[in-house]
Chains A and B, each alone.
Chain A
Amino acid sequence: MRKLKNIFLLALLAAISFTACVDDAGIPGEYVPEYNGEANLTIKDLKEKYATVISNNSLEEITDDYVIKGFVTGNDISGNIYKTLFIQDETGGLNIAIDADGLNASYCLGQEVFVRLKGLYIGGYGSSAQLGYTYNKVDTTNNTTKVQIGRMSKFMWQDHAFKNGLAMPSTVPAPIIINNESEIKNSYDGMLVTVKGVSFNMAGFLTMAEDKNIGAGTDSRQLIIDGGDLTLRTSRYATGIATLILPEGKGDITGILTSYRGEWQLTVREASDFQGYNFQSQISPHYILETFSSELGVFKSVSDLVGATGRLSWTIDFNSAMIKGYVDGKNVDAITYLVSSSLDLSAGTPTYITFDHAINYADSKTLRQNHQLLISKDYNGNVNEAHWTALDTYMPSGSSFVFVNSGRVIVPQEFLGQKNVTVALKQVSTTTKGSTWEVRNFVVAPGQGEVIKDPTNPDGAIFYESFANGFGNFTTQDITGGAYWQEDTERGFVKISGNGRGVNEDWLISPKLDLSKYQNVQLHFMQAINFALTEAARKSQCKLMISTNYNSGKPETATWTEATIPTYPTSDSWNFIGSGTIDLPSVNNVHFAFKYNCPDTNAAYWEIKDVIVK
C-alpha cells in the first residue's frame, strides 16, 4: 500500500510541472519611437531646390545634410499605393519610392517620420517629384539603359528614416478640400486632398480596375468634377477597391493628388476613401460591355477590301482595341471595321451606345469621316453589302492619346425592335494619313441617351473651339512685331512664337458670345509654353483678356480687362496643361482674347487648344 503514496507523489509532480506552461513569454511593452533632431528643410523647399531636375525627369544625388519631416498620408494599406509612401508637412507632399511590401505595418497613416536625405536621390517622374534611388531602365527596343529615379531599397530606407512618436487619428493630416478643378494648385502635388462632388465616367459598367488575372497593372478611370475632369488611378491588386463597380451619382473622394506630365491624378488609399456613393453590386444591364483588356470579345476586325487596297486590323493594345494606320514606316490605304456580334434589340426599349476613345496622328479635317460609329440592321458578314447609318459622337482631338467619352449616343428609333442590329467602328486610313484609334471600352445598354449637340463640342459646352482645324471663328490682330498667330492643323492647335521677331503684341480674339442666359459661365483651355525660362515670363507674355464692349477690329477700340489664368505650366515644355477655370461675365456681348506680348529676347512659344466655355 505504500506504493500508493509513490504513485500519488509522481502524479502530483507531473501535474504541477505540466501546468507550468511553457508558452509564457510576457507581453512586450509599447515601443514609442523617438527622433532627437530637427528638420532643416521643408518639402516645398526641397522641391524648389531640385525644380529643374524634377521638371526634366532626371535625377540628382542629395549631397547635403538635409533632413525633412512629415506625416504619412499614403501607404500600401490596400495595395492601391504600392512600394511608395506619401508624407507631407505644412508646405507640401512628397512621394517616397521604397522597394518594400507591407509598409503600412510600420508606416501607418499619421506616422511622423524624419528623413535624412543625404545619399538618396531626388528626381522627376512625369515631372513630379520623387525621392528614391537610381534605377537603370532598360529600353528593350534598342537595348539602351537610361538612369532614372526609382525605388530605394528597404535597407536604405531603414538607414534614412526615423520615426517619431506614435501614429494617432489626430496626427493624420487633414485633407485639402477641392470643390472645383480651378482650386487645384501646383503645390498640392503629392498631398492629401478631398475632391467634392465627383462623378464617374462609364459609371455602372466598369470596375475601378481591370481583372488582376490579365496581369498586374494600374488602370485609369475618368472622374468628372466641377470645372473639369481628373484621372483616378487604381491598382488591380487594390484590396476592396479594384473590383468595385464605378458608382452612379456624385460623392467625395479622398486621396493623394499627383501630377503626371501635367495631368492631375488621384490615388485613394483604401475603400473608405470613397464617401457618399452607393456602390452597386451588379454591373448595369447591357447588350454589349467590352473592356478590351485581353480580347476583342464580341467584336471582330473586318477589312473592306473593295474600298481600299491595303489591309489593317483591330487588335488589343494596352487594354484597348486599337487600329494603327501607320505600319512599318508607311501609311496604309485601308478601310477597317470593328464589327459587333448581332444584337437583338427586339425589346424595343430606348438604347444607347457609349465608349471612351482617343485618336492620334489624324488629319483634323477628315477626323470625323475617317473615324465613324456605324449601326446597321442588315449586316450579314459583308461590310460592303450592309446598310450603315453613321451616328454622331463626341470626338477626341485627333492629335493625342487623351481619351474622350463618346457621350451616350442614342440608337435611332428605326433600329429599336430589330433582331439583327450590328454596331461598328470604321476607320479609314489613307496613304497620306494613317491614324491610330484606341477604344478603351464599348457599351451598348438600355436607357436614355443624349443628343450629341456638336460632335466637336464635348459635354454640351456653350462654346467650344478645339483649334484642330484652324482658328475657327476666332480672329487675329497683329499689333506689333514680326510674329503672328498661326494655325497648326497638322497637330491640331494654334501657336505663336516671337523668337527672333523682335518685340511683339498679338491678339487672338474669340467670336462674340451671348452669355446673358447663363449663370456661372467658365472658360477653360489647354496651353503649352516653352522657352520662356521663368514663371514670371510665362505669366507676362501669355495673357488672357476679357471685354464686354468689343465689336471688331483693333482691340484698342474696346475696354479689355486682364483675367488671371489660374494654372500656368510649371515648367517650359511642349506638354499641354489645363488652364484652370476662368469666370466669364453673364452679359450679351462677351469676347475673350489670348494676348501675346513678348520682349526682344527670351520670347515664349505659346500653343493653345481645346477652348471650352460652359
Chain B
Amino acid sequence: MKQKLGLIVVLAGISSLVCAQQTNKPNTGREDNSSFTFSESQLNEDDDVNQSISALVSSDNDVYLSTAGYSFSPMRFRVRAYDSQYNDMYINGVHFNNVETGRFSYGVIGGLNDATRNKDGVSSFAPSRFGYNSFGGSTNIITRASQYAAGSKVSLSGCNRNYILRGMFTHSTGLMKNGWAFTGSLSYRWAKEGNIEGTFYNSLGYFLAAEKVFNDRHSLSITTWGNPTERGQQTASTQEVYDLVGSNYYNANWGYQDGKKRNARVVRSFEPTAVLTWLFNINKDTKLQTSFGARYSNYGTSALGWYNNVPDPRPDYWKKLPSYYTDARDKEIATDLWEHNKEFRQLDWDMFYNVNRQQNRFNDMASYIVEERHNDQLVFTLNSVINHTFNKHTSLTGGLELGSTKGMHYNKIKDMLGADIFYNIDKFSARDYGMNSDIAQNDLDNRNAMLKKGDKFGYNYNLFVNKGNVWAQGVTSHSHWDIQYGAKIGATQFWREGLMRNGRAANSSKGNSDKKIFMDYAGKFGVTYKVTGNHILSLNTAFENRAPLAYNSFVAPRMKNMYVSDLQSEKIVGGDLNYVFNFPRVHGRITGYYTRFFDQTELESFYDDDTHRYSYLSMKGINKEHWGVELGLTVNIVSSLNLTGVATYSDARYMNNPDATLTYENETEVTTGEKVYCDGFRVNSTPLSVYSLALDYSIKGWFFNLNGNYYDRTYLDFSTIRRLSRVVGGPGVDLGGNESVKADPQQKLKGGFMMDASIGRYLRFKNGTSLSLNLSVNNILNNTNLRTGGYEQNRIDGLKYASKYYYAQGINAFLNIGYRF
C-alpha cells in the first residue's frame, strides 16, 4: 500500500501542472452542509449496518427528497424503504453498483466530497439522461474535468463523528484555451478515536480528472480516484450490556493490548477506479457519450477467530453477562465487574497472546487469530448513451451497458497473535469428526496445510457476473400533456468458481459451477398532466424482471457450487401518483406510491449457537409490498425565511412465508421443505413514519437552519431461524380455519424526536476569493435513546439471546471552513 501511496503523490502533483482561473458559482450554506453530512454520517461504510442512503438525495429541486437524504440520515432513513440495490449509481455515465450485492458502496467516494459534488439525480419514474433507472431512482456523478469551476478550494473540518478531522484540497483548471481541463483533489480523514470508543479512522482520498476537448464534437476525459482507508468498527450490543455500562454506545470490538486500545474489527479497503469517457456531439440534436470504467477493489474486514474449544472471546457473549448466572452471588459479581471494570468488559488481547504461546509450547494450533474476510472485485463496465431530439415535442435516449465482474471472496490470516501453527480446518467439523477427518478439511487438495500470516484459509471462491442490456426511453411533451415511456432488455450471467476443495462438499466445491443466465427486462410508462405550469399531476407505472443477485443465489457460497433450487428472477411492479404545486408562497409535492416485489431471494449466514454450527439460511419466493404517502412543501414566510415541512407515512412488509433452505457449514446435507413465518413483518431499520419541520433563514451571507424530526415505526431486523417451521411448529389451523403459527412477532422500536441546527456564513472577498463557514449541531436535545435499528440474534431462544441495537448518535457537531481561491 505504501508503494501505491507514493504513486498517488506523484499523480496528484501532475494534476495541477496546468492551471487557470474561472469565476465561482456562489454556494448556499445549506448545500455545502448537506454534502458533508451526506457522505459522513449517512453513507453506508459499515457492511454490517444496513445500507441507508437513497440515490435520490441529489434531486435538489425536490423538497421531500433533499430533506429525506439530508436530515433523516442519522436514522438511516431509506426512501420508500427500498433496499439500496434499487438505487442506481453512475459515475460519468458508468454504472457502478456492485453487481454481486446490487448496492453501491459510498465508501468508494468517501472523503472526495468536493470532487464528487456535481450530481445529476433522477427519481424513480423520471426519464434519465444516463441510464435506465430502477425503482429507487438513479444518480450520475459528473467528474469530467471541464465541468469543474476553475480555482482552488481548501476545506478543513472538525467533528465528533466517525472521524474528527478532515482536510480537503481541490484544484481545477477549468477548460483552458488549449482544450485541456484538469481537476485534482486530495483529502484526508482522521480520528485516533471516533465518537464510539475503540474506533479509529484513517483515510486518504485522491482524485484526478483530465479532459481534452478536441473540438465542438469530440472530447475525451479520464478520471481516476481511490481512497485507501483503515477504520475500526463498532458493534451492536444488547440492552442489558448498554444498561450495565451506562451507555448506549458501548463497543465490544476493542480491548487493551499491552496497555493500548486495539480494535478487532477493522476495515481495510482500497478501491482504485478509473473512468474513460468519450463525448461525441454527432449533430445539434444527437449526442453520444461512451464511458468505460474499471475498478479493482480490495476490501477486507477483520474479526477474531478462535479454536480449540477456548471460550468465546467476545466480552458481551451471553455467558459473560449477569443475566446468564442463576446464582445471586454470581450475578452480583458479574454486575459489579461489568459496571466497574473496564478491562473485564472489553477484549483481552494479552490473554490471547498468552494462550497462543502456551499452544506453541505444546506444538499445537493457535487458539486465537485475527482473520480478514475479503470481498475483492475486479470490475469492467462499458456504458454508451445516445440522446436524440426528434422535434420540439419528442426526445429519445438509448443506451447500452456491458459489464463483467470477478468477485474474489476469501478469508485470510491477518495476525497470528503470537502463535506458530495454524491449520486450514473447519473448527465445527473438526469438533464433530476430528481434525484428521476429510470433512474437517477446508481444502482437501492441501490437507492440514500449515498456514502463516497472509495465507488464505477457510474459503476461497470467485463469483463471476456478466451483464448486458440495451434500453431506451423517451419523452413526448405538449403544452398540457407529457408522456414518458421506456423499456429495457438484457441478460445476466453468473457462476461460482471454487478454489478450495472443501471437505464438506468434496465433489461440488472446487472448479466452476453451472453458469446461470437470467433475462432482465423492464418497462415504464408515465403521463403528466399540466393543469397549469404551477399545478402538475403525474401518474407513473413500471415493471421490472430482475435477475437474482449472485450473492444470494448459492445456498452456501463459501462452501460449494450449489444453487438455490428453482432460482427465479425477481419481479417488481409499481407506480405513483404525484401532485406538484407551486403557489406564490407555497410549493411542494404530494405523492402516493405502491410497489410490489415478487420472488425475491435472500441469503443469511450466521453462527447457530444452539447447534454450534455455522449456518446458511436461504429464502426464496419472498413477496413484499411497499406503499406510502409522501409530502414535501416549502412555505416562503418572508423573502429570506422559509418553512419546510416533510412527512411520510408508509408501509413495507413481507406478504408471504417464503420457502427456506437451511445448510450447515460442517455438514454435507441440506435441510429443505421449511418456511420462514414472516408474513406481515416489516422491512427493517428504516423509520416508516417521519414528520419533519424546518426553518431556514438567510440574510447578508448568513444562513440559519433549525429543524425538528420525529421518527416512528422503525422495525428490528428479525431472526429468520426463529421463525422457521421447525421452531414455530409449522402451520396449525385456528377456529376460523386459517393457518396459524406461533411465531414471535417482530419488534417495533420506539419513535423519537431529534432536533438539528446549523449556522453558516458565506464571505466573498474583493480579490474574488471566498470563505464559507458552517457549523451544524445535530441532535441538539441529545436524545440518546433513539434506536436506528439492530437485529435479533439468529438463535431460537429470544430470551436467552436478547436482541442487539444500534443507537443514533447523541449531540454532535460538524464545523467546516472552506476557502476558495
A residues apposed to B, CB below 8 Å: 1, 3-4, 6-8, 10-15, 17-19, 21-31, 76-79, 100-102, 104-106, 108-109, 153-155, 166-169, 212-213, 237, 239-244, 271, 281
Contact of B202 among A18, A79, A281 (CB under 8 A): A18
- Does A19 contact B258, Cβ atoms closer than 8 Å? no
- Does B434 contact A22, Cβ atoms closer than 8 Å? no
- Does B171 contact A26, Cβ atoms closer than 8 Å? no
Contact of A25 among B260, B329, B333, B367 (CB under 8 A): B260
Of all chain A residues, which has the CB nearest B433? A243
Instruction: Give the chain B neighbours of A242 by CB distance below 8 A.
Output: 432
B313 vs chain A, min Cβ distance (A):
9
- Does A28 contact B186, Cβ atoms closer than 8 Å? no
A152 vs chain B, min Cβ distance (A):
10
Among A22, A102, A166, A271: residue with most chain B CB under 10 A: A22
Instruction: Give the chain A neighbours of B327 by CB distance below 8 A.
Output: 153
Contact of B190 among A1, A4, A17, A28 (CB under 8 A): A17
B224 vs chain A, min Cβ distance (A):
15
- Does B12 contact A11, Cβ atoms closer than 8 Å? yes
Within the assembled complex, what's the spacing in Å between the Cα atoms of A244 and B440? 13
Within the assembled complex, what's the spacing in Å between the Cα atoms of A15 and B431? 46
- Does B311 contact A101, Cβ atoms closer than 8 Å? yes
B104 vs chain A, min Cβ distance (A):
25
Of all chain B residues, which has the CB nearest A109? B362
- Does B169 contact A6, Cβ atoms closer than 8 Å? yes
| 12 intermolecular pairs with C-beta atoms under 8 Å apart | A7-B169, A11-B12, A15-B6, A77-B308, A101-B319, A104-B310, A105-B311, A106-B351, A155-B334, A237-B431, A240-B430, A240-B434
- Does B186 contact A11, Cβ atoms closer than 8 Å? yes
Contact of A15 among B204, B232, B262, B367 (CB under 8 A): B204
- Does A7 contact B15, Cβ atoms closer than 8 Å? yes
- Does B258 contact A239, Cβ atoms closer than 8 Å? no
* With known contacts A22-B230, A104-B308, A105-B355, A10–B19 Cβ distance under 8 A: no
Which B residues between 59 and 73 are near A, CB-CB below 8 angstroms? none
Contact of B349 among A6, A25, A241 (CB under 8 A): A25
- Does B262 contact A23, Cβ atoms closer than 8 Å? yes
Instruction: Give the chain B neighbours of A6 by CB distance below 8 A.
Output: 152, 169
B39 vs chain A, min Cβ distance (A):
18
- Does B308 contact A28, Cβ atoms closer than 8 Å? no
Instruction: Give the chain B neighbours of A29 by CB distance below 8 A.
Output: 258
Within the assembled complex, what's the spacing in Å between the Cα atoms of A14 and B4? 13
* With known contacts A18-B188, A19-B2, A30-B354, A102–B310 Cβ distance under 8 A: yes
A508 vs chain B, min Cβ distance (A):
50
Which B residues between 407 and 438 are near A, CB-CB below 8 angstroms? 418, 430-435, 437
Instruction: Give the chain A neighbours of B799 by CB distance below 8 A.
Output: none
Q: Judge whether B521 is part of the interface by a CB distance below 8 angstroms.
A: no
- Does A25 contact B431, Cβ atoms closer than 8 Å? no
- Does A241 contact B418, Cβ atoms closer than 8 Å? no
Instruction: Give the chain B neighbours of A167 by CB distance below 8 A.
Output: 358, 361-362
Instruction: Give the chain B neighbours of A153 by CB distance below 8 A.
Output: 325, 327, 329-330, 333
Number of A-B contacts (CB under 8 A): 164
Of all chain B residues, which has the CB nearest A172? B362
B234 vs chain A, min Cβ distance (A):
15
C-beta contact mask, B1-42 vs A, less than 8 Å → 1, else 0? 010011011001101110100000000000000000000000
Within the assembled complex, what's the spacing in Å between the Cα atoms of A427 and B232? 69
A289 vs chain B, min Cβ distance (A):
19
B209 vs chain A, min Cβ distance (A):
14
A170 vs chain B, min Cβ distance (A):
10
Chain B interfacial residues counted at CB < 8 A: 69
Among A12, A105, A155: residue with most chain B CB under 10 A: A105
Q: Judge whether B445 is part of the interface by a CB distance below 8 angstroms.
A: no
B314 vs chain A, min Cβ distance (A):
12
A208 vs chain B, min Cβ distance (A):
10
Of all chain A residues, which has the CB nearest B256? A25
B615 vs chain A, min Cβ distance (A):
14
Among B186, B206, B263, B418: residue with most chain A CB under 10 A: B186
Q: Judge whether B708 is part of the interface by a CB distance below 8 angstroms.
A: no
- Does A26 contact B258, Cβ atoms closer than 8 Å? yes
- Does A169 contact B362, Cβ atoms closer than 8 Å? yes
B662 vs chain A, min Cβ distance (A):
13
Q: Judge whether B184 is part of the interface by a CB distance below 8 angstroms.
A: yes
- Does A240 contact B354, Cβ atoms closer than 8 Å? no
**What DSSP secondary structure best describes chain B's contact surface?**
mixed
Within the assembled complex, what's the spacing in Å between the Cα atoms of A153 and B8? 57
Q: Judge whether B479 is part of the interface by a CB distance below 8 angstroms.
A: no
B residues apposed to A, CB below 8 Å: 2, 5-6, 8-9, 12-13, 15-17, 19, 152, 167, 169, 171, 184, 186-188, 190, 192, 200, 202-204, 206, 228, 230, 232, 257-258, 260-263, 266, 308-312, 319, 325, 327, 329-330, 333-334, 349-351, 353-355, 357-358, 361-362, 367, 418, 430-435, 437, 611-612
Within the assembled complex, what's the spacing in Å between the Cα atoms of A38 and B430? 41
Of all chain A residues, which has the CB nearest B333? A155
- Does B258 contact A102, Cβ atoms closer than 8 Å? no
Contact of B362 among A76, A108, A237, A240 (CB under 8 A): A108
- Does B184 contact A7, Cβ atoms closer than 8 Å? yes
Instruction: Give the chain B neighbours of A8 by CB distance below 8 A.
Output: 9, 12-13
- Does A102 contact B432, Cβ atoms closer than 8 Å? no
Instruction: Give the chain B neighbours of A76 by CB distance below 8 A.
Output: 309
- Does A28 contact B333, Cβ atoms closer than 8 Å? no
Within the assembled complex, what's the spacing in Å between the Cα atoms of A213 and B613? 12
Within the assembled complex, what's the spacing in Å between the Cα atoms of A76 and B308? 9
Of all chain B residues, which has the CB nearest A33? B354
* With known contacts A7-B169, A8-B9, A102-B309, A239–B358 Cβ distance under 8 A: no
Extra A-B contacts (20), CB below 8 Å, given A14-B186, A17-B188, A100-B311: A3-B171, A7-B13, A8-B9, A8-B13, A11-B8, A14-B188, A17-B190, A18-B5, A22-B230, A22-B232, A23-B263, A26-B257, A27-B418, A28-B353, A30-B354, A77-B308, A78-B309, A167-B358, A168-B361, A243-B434
- Does B258 contact A79, Cβ atoms closer than 8 Å? no
* With known contacts A3-B19, A7-B184, A14-B204, A240–B152 Cβ distance under 8 A: no
Among B19, B228, B362, B367: residue with most chain A CB under 10 A: B362
Of all chain B residues, which has the CB nearest A75? B309
- Does B192 contact A22, Cβ atoms closer than 8 Å? yes
Instruction: Give the chain A neighbours of B190 by CB distance below 8 A.
Output: 17
Instruction: Give the chain A neighbours of B437 by CB distance below 8 A.
Output: 240, 243, 281
Within the assembled complex, what's the spacing in Å between the Cα atoms of A3 and B169? 11
- Does B200 contact A22, Cβ atoms closer than 8 Å? yes
The 6 closest A-B pairs by CB, nearest first: A102-B311, A240-B434, A25-B257, A239-B431, A105-B310, A25-B260
Instruction: Give the chain A neighbours of B12 by CB distance below 8 A.
Output: 7-8, 11
Within the assembled complex, what's the spacing in Å between the Cα atoms of A78 and B430? 10
- Does B349 contact A28, Cβ atoms closer than 8 Å? yes
Of all chain A residues, which has the CB nearest B169? A10
Within the assembled complex, what's the spacing in Å between the Cα atoms of A101 and B437? 25
- Does A271 contact B266, Cβ atoms closer than 8 Å? no
B385 vs chain A, min Cβ distance (A):
33
Of all chain A residues, which has the CB nearest B302? A23
* With known contacts A25-B262, A242-B432, A77–B309 Cβ distance under 8 A: yes
Instruction: Give the chain A neighbours of B312 by CB distance below 8 A.
Output: 101-102
Instruction: Give the chain B neighbours of A101 by CB distance below 8 A.
Output: 309, 311-312, 319
- Does A240 contact B309, Cβ atoms closer than 8 Å? no
Within the assembled complex, what's the spacing in Å between the Cα atoms of A24 and B311? 26
* With known contacts A4-B17, A14-B204, A169-B361, A105–B330 Cβ distance under 8 A: no
A297 vs chain B, min Cβ distance (A):
19
Within the assembled complex, what's the spacing in Å between the Cα atoms of A105 and B359? 9
- Does A79 contact B230, Cβ atoms closer than 8 Å? no
- Does B258 contact A27, Cβ atoms closer than 8 Å? yes
- Does B309 contact A7, Cβ atoms closer than 8 Å? no
A384 vs chain B, min Cβ distance (A):
41
Within the assembled complex, what's the spacing in Å between the Cα atoms of A281 and B503? 14
Instruction: Give the chain A neighbours of B334 by CB distance below 8 A.
Output: 155
Instruction: Give the chain A neighbours of B8 by CB distance below 8 A.
Output: 11, 15
Instruction: Give the chain A neighbours of B432 by CB distance below 8 A.
Output: 212, 239-240, 242-243
